[in-house]
Structure 1
Amino acid sequence: MKALFLAGGLGTRLRPLTEHLPKPMALVGNRPWLEHLLLHYKAQGVDEFVIAVKHYRELIETLLGDGSKYGVRIDYSVETELLGTAGAIKNAEKLLADRFIVVNADIIHQVDLASALRFHDEHGGAATICLTEVDDPSHYGVVDQAGNGKIVRFVEKPKKEEAPTNRINAGIYIMERRALDHIPAGRPVSIEKETFPLLIENGSGVYGHPIGGYWMDMGTKVRYRQLHWDLLDRRFPLAIGGKDSDDNGIWIGDNVRVGQGVLFVPPVMIGDDVTIGDRSIIGPYAVVGNGTRIGSHVRLSQSILWERCKIRTGAQLNECIFGTGMQVGPHILHEAVCNRTLEVHRR
């Protein structure tokens, strides 16, 4: 089985964090989400991958390479212009198999791939759309299904009380190669708005399969923060690096230097090679990236720091998200999202 990861977008709603970074490269628990995603699908038997890239593709290629360090094979499909979801699939056609998986690489999820593949085998249609259930479907495209799971129509952002179901497109598809015959080449094409409706209309067979498990579109700062709190609370059962030897919700990486009188208020995740100064209070809900330096008397709560940040003595940070290499302090900051050194004065 071969999987195609759609990783060409920048994620404008996560700026400035992804200002110079493909959105799937955003860190989740101190590791790029794209790497987590690759390992998740490898664990379910996928050993060949195609990654559709455009913006800052060199960052993705530098991280993943040809896949050999993960025991898989990776090819790259390069877009010279953004081609949309279906256009990116068509652009990668020569690298795909007779049956393949398509994954929107910026969607946080865990899927039981074997179950979805069994369902796809049974219905014999051209495509299976993996579905997730949400409390309020009014912000999404909702699917209307027949009793056998066949999708008969899409309802875009219906009122909550008018939605036919609460099932929405999870951004994961199993497709037969013949579906590519219905995607025009060389122009942007939306799989959601053009290709799937066409396949439904012409009788090719589009079916929906609920995946269960965790699902999150991390496309906003609020959801990105909530994703990490779900991770720390273990509602999202992604593997966390570091040791939690007492099972107390405090994960500590390798080569961490902790000063005198430091208080950890769980849940807290500390990466590798981190230094924390005397009498700092870290947590609750704090994720500290690899190589970060935190001064003394720092108060850090409900915040996420990427790699190699420097938080100076006396800083107080609450509900902040800082990108790689940020330098802060001594400041009192609330709800700041930054990707470059701050030049503000203490309040």
Structure 2
Amino acid sequence: MKALFLAGGLGTRLRPLTEHLPKPMALVGNRPWLEHLLLHYREQGVNEFVIAVKHYRELIESHLGDGSKYGARIEYAVEKELLGTAGAIKNAEHLLSDRFIVVNADIIHQVDLSSVLRFHSAHGGAATICLTEVEDPSHYGVVEQSDSGRIVRFIEKPKKEEAPSNRINAGIYIMERRALDFVPAGRAVSIEKETFPLLIDNGSGVYGHPIGGYWMDMGTKERYRQLHWDLLDRRFPAKIDGKEMEDKSIWLGDNVRVGQGVLFVPPVMIGDDVSIGDRAIIGPYAVVGKGSRIGNYARLANSILWDRCKVSAGAQLNECIFGTAMRVGPHILHEAVCNRILEVQRR
């Protein structure tokens, strides 16, 4: 079975970090999220992938390549213009298997794929929508289901007290190729607003299956920051590179140079080839990207730095997010979000 990752859009709500790169290539714990995603599905037995690309596709292709370094095979479906969720799937149809997985690649999640596949095989319908449960469904499209799990209808952003459930579309689907017979080619089509309602109405069979586990849309700087705190606290159990120190919750990459009197306040994640000046204080909740330089007496807390950032001596950062290759002067900064990204880990 193949997995199709929808990675063609830009993360407009995460700007300026994603001003010049696809949102799925935003770094999560010093690694592009799209790479985390591929590894997660690879661990569950998927080894053939199709990635739908549009904006800055060269960033994705140059980083992931043909997938051989991950023990996988990757093909690319290029959109000349944005085609929406269902349109992007239709555009990739010639590369897909008779049954395939579709993943909105900017959604942070971990899924038990075997459970979803067993459910899909048992009901025999055209599609299974993975569902996640939220406390307040009024900001999402909510599903109404029969006792068998068949989806009867979608209700867009209902009042909390009027919602038929707290289950929403998690952005992960198992689909049969026959479902694509109902998707017109060559134009933008929404799977949520057009395709699934049509498949429900014509009796093709659309079912929903709760996935449990971690789920988050990282589309705002607040959620992007929270995602990293969840990663550091291990509520989100994605792989963290580097060696964990005996003090726990302090991860150091390879070739990290630590000056005299440096204080780490966990949790902290430091990437490869980072240098930290004398008497700097790092943490709590600090992520420092590969190749970064932290000056003497700098203080860094509740902040995320992407690769190759330079923080001057004496600078104090709190609740800041800095993109690749940013230079931060000797200032006190609070809640800054800056970006100067030209490329993502091309080296």
The TM-score normalised by the length of structure 1 is: 0.97
The answer to whether the 8 A contact 1:327-1:340 is kept is no
**2:310 aligned with 1:310:** yes
Percent identity (aligned): 84
**What does 1:92-111 align with in structure 2 at a 5 Å threshold?**
92-111=92-111
**What does 1:1-347 align with in structure 2 at a 5 Å threshold?**
1-246=1-246, 248-340=248-340
The answer to whether the 8 A contact 2:245-2:252 is kept is no
How far 1:247 sits from its partner (Å)?
5.0
Q: Distance in 1 between matches of 2:17 and 2:340?
A: 9
Aligned residue identity for 2:138 = S
Q: Distance in 2 between matches of 1:316 and 1:65?
A: 38
Q: Which runs of 4+ in 1 moved over 3 A?
A: none
Q: Report the secondary structure of 2:184's partner residue.
A: coil
Q: Distance in 1 between matches of 2:278 and 2:214?
A: 38
How far 1:69 sits from its partner (Å)?
1.0
Partner residue, 1:344: none
Gaps of at least 5 residues in structure 1 are 342-347
Q: Report the secondary structure of 2:244's partner residue.
A: coil
**Deviation string for 1:224-248 (max 9, x for gaps)?**
0000000000100111111113152
Q: Distance in 2 between matches of 1:264 and 1:247?
A: 10
The answer to whether the 8 A contact 2:132-2:211 is kept is yes
Q: Distance in 2 between matches of 1:66 and 1:128?
A: 28
Aligned residue identity for 1:208 = G
How far 1:340 sits from its partner (Å)?
3.0
How far 1:177 sits from its partner (Å)?
0.3
RMSD of Structure 2 on Structure 1 (CA): 0.8
The answer to whether the 8 A contact 2:8-2:55 is kept is yes
**Deviation string for 1:59-94 (max 9, x for gaps)?**
000011111111111110000000000000000010
Number of corresponding residues: 341
Q: Report the secondary structure of 1:171's partner residue.
A: strand
Aligned residue identity for 1:266 = P
Q: Distance in 2 between matches of 1:133 and 1:282?
A: 35
The TM-score normalised by the length of structure 2 is: 0.97
